[in-house]
Amino acid sequence: MKDPFAYIFRFCCDPGFNDQAELAALDRFVDKALVDDVAVFANVEELNTGHMGREEQDLYLALMTRVRDLLAGRGISFSVNQWHSVMHADLGKRLGEEQPFRPMVDAHGRAASLCVCPLCAEWQRYIARLYARYAMLDPSIVWVEDDFRLHNHEPLDWGGCFCEEHMKLYSQRAGKPLTREEFVAGVLQPGEPHPYRKIWLDVSRETMLSAARAIGRAVRAVSPRVQVGLMSSTPHAHAAEGRDWYALLRELAQGLAPVDRIHLPGYQETAPGQYMQGFNMVSMLNRALLPPETRVYPELENYPFSRYSKSRRFTRFQLLSALALAPDGITIDLYDLNGNGIVWEEGYQTTLRATKPYLNALTEGGLLRGKRLGVQVLCCPDSAYTLHTDAGVSMEELYPKEGFWGGLLPAMGIPCVYCTDPAALRGQVVAAAGQVLRNWSDEVLEGLFRDNFLLLTGDAAQVLCERGLGRLAGLESVHWMRQNQGEYAFEQVTNGKEYAGRPRARASAVISCSDAVAVTYRPDAELFEYTALYDSFRQRAAAGQVVVNGRALVYPFGNFESPVQIPPMLLNTVRAEILQDVLRAAGLELPMVENSPYLEPYCFADEAGGTALYLVNAATDPVDCVRLAGLPAGPLTVWRSEKGGEAERVFVRHTKTGAAVDLPLNSMETMLLYWRHGEGEDPE
Ligand SMILES: [Zn+2]
pLDDT tens-digit series, residues 565-600: 999 999 999 999 999 999 999 999 999 999 999 999
How many angstroms does the Cα of residue 113 sit away from the middle of ligand 1?
13
How many angstroms does the Cα of residue 150 sit away from the middle of ligand 1?
10
- Indicate the range of 214-223, 429-438, 487-496, 624-633 predicted with least confidence: 624-633
Give the DSSP H or E segment for 272.
helix 272-278
- Does residue 682 carry a pLDDT above 50? no
Paired sense of beta strands 531-534 and 540-543, if any:
antiparallel
Q: What is the mean pLDDT of residues 357-365?
A: 97
Torsion, Cα of 674, 676, 681, 684 (10° steps): -30
CA 542, CA 488: separation in Å to the nearest integer? Answer: 8
What's the chain's average pLDDT? 96
Q: What pLDDT digit, counting tens, does each position of 509-551 carry?
A: 999 999 999 999 999 999 999 999 999 999 999 999 999 999 9
CA 385, CA 239: separation in Å to the nearest integer? Answer: 9
How many angstroms does the Cα of residue 243 sit away from the middle of ligand 1?
16
How many angstroms does the Cα of residue 324 sit away from the middle of ligand 1?
38
Query: Smallest Cα–Cα separation from 521: which of 476, 473, 479?
Result: 476
How many angstroms does the Cα of residue 192 sit away from the middle of ligand 1?
27
How many angstroms does the Cα of residue 651 sit away from the middle of ligand 1?
62
Give the DSSP H or E segment for 8.
strand 6-11
The radius of gyration computed from the CA coordinates of the chain, to the nearest angstrom, equals 26
How many angstroms does the Cα of residue 244 sit away from the middle of ligand 1?
19
How many angstroms does the Cα of residue 53 sit away from the middle of ligand 1?
22
| Cα–Cα separations (whole angstroms), residue 40 to 26, 63, 71, 440, 681 | 11, 8, 12, 44, 53
How many angstroms does the Cα of residue 102 sit away from the middle of ligand 1?
7
How many angstroms does the Cα of residue 454 sit away from the middle of ligand 1?
43
Contact in structure between 508 and 490 (CB atoms under 8 Å): yes
Residue 668's CATH number: 2.60.40.1180
Contact in structure between 103 and 95 (CB atoms under 8 Å): yes
How many angstroms does the Cα of residue 396 sit away from the middle of ligand 1?
19
Which residues are within 8 A (CB) of 482 and not within 5 positions of it... i.e. 6 or more apart?
Answer: 515
Residue 318 placed within a domain = no
- For 274-291, b/e burial (b = at least 16 CB within 10 A) is bbbbbbbbbbbbbbbbbe
CA 276, distance to chain mean position in Å, is 10
How many angstroms does the Cα of residue 391 sit away from the middle of ligand 1?
26
How many angstroms does the Cα of residue 455 sit away from the middle of ligand 1?
42
How many angstroms does the Cα of residue 119 sit away from the middle of ligand 1?
6
- For 447-458, b/e burial (b = at least 16 CB within 10 A) is bbbeebbbbbbb
Q: How many CB atoms lie within 10 A of CB 436?
A: 28
- What is the dihedral sign for C-alpha 270, 555, 491, 511? positive
Contact in structure between 47 and 75 (CB atoms under 8 Å): no
| Cα–Cα separations (whole angstroms), residue 276 to 321, 409, 558, 626 | 8, 11, 20, 19
Q: What is the mean pLDDT of residues 377-386?
A: 98
- pLDDT-derived band at 76 (thresholds 50, 70, 90) equals very high
Paired sense of beta strands 429-432 and 506-508, if any:
unpaired
Proportion of the chain in helix, strand, coil states, percent, rounded to 5: 35, 25, 40
- Does residue 677 carry a pLDDT above 80? no
Residue 598 placed within a domain = yes
Residue 615 placed within a domain = yes
Query: Smallest Cα–Cα separation from 402: which of 375, 373, 431?
Result: 431
How many angstroms does the Cα of residue 162 sit away from the middle of ligand 1?
5
Q: Is the pTM value of this prediction over 0.85?
A: yes
Give the DSSP H or E segment for 640.
strand 635-640
How many angstroms does the Cα of residue 120 sit away from the middle of ligand 1?
7
How many angstroms does the Cα of residue 204 sit away from the middle of ligand 1?
9
Residue 631 placed within a domain = yes
Question: How many domains does the chain divide into?
Answer: 1
Residue 57 placed within a domain = no
| Cα–Cα separations (whole angstroms), residue 23 to 12, 13, 66, 168, 392 | 10, 8, 8, 50, 52
Contact in structure between 431 and 455 (CB atoms under 8 Å): yes
Q: What pLDDT digit, counting tens, does each position of 94-120 carry?
A: 999 999 999 999 999 999 999 999 999
Query: What is the model's pLDDT at position 673?
Result: 97
How many angstroms does the Cα of residue 167 sit away from the middle of ligand 1?
8
Strand ranges for 427-524 from DSSP E: 429-432, 453-456, 475-481, 490-493, 498-499, 502-503, 506-508, 515-521
Q: What pLDDT digit, counting tens, does each position of 324-356 carry?
A: 999 999 999 999 999 999 999 999 999 999 999
How many angstroms does the Cα of residue 116 sit away from the middle of ligand 1?
8
How many angstroms does the Cα of residue 160 sit away from the middle of ligand 1?
7
How many angstroms does the Cα of residue 382 sit away from the middle of ligand 1?
22
Strand order in the sheet with 653-654: 592-593, 626-629, 659-661, 653-654
CA 545, CA 561: separation in Å to the nearest integer? Answer: 21
Residue 597 placed within a domain = yes
How many angstroms does the Cα of residue 96 sit away from the middle of ligand 1?
18
Domain hosting 641: range is 592-676
How many angstroms does the Cα of residue 103 sit away from the middle of ligand 1?
7
Residue 286 placed within a domain = no
How many angstroms does the Cα of residue 149 sit away from the middle of ligand 1?
12
Assign 260 to helix, strand or coil. Answer: strand
| Cα–Cα separations (whole angstroms), residue 408 to 276, 392, 602, 629 | 10, 28, 13, 18
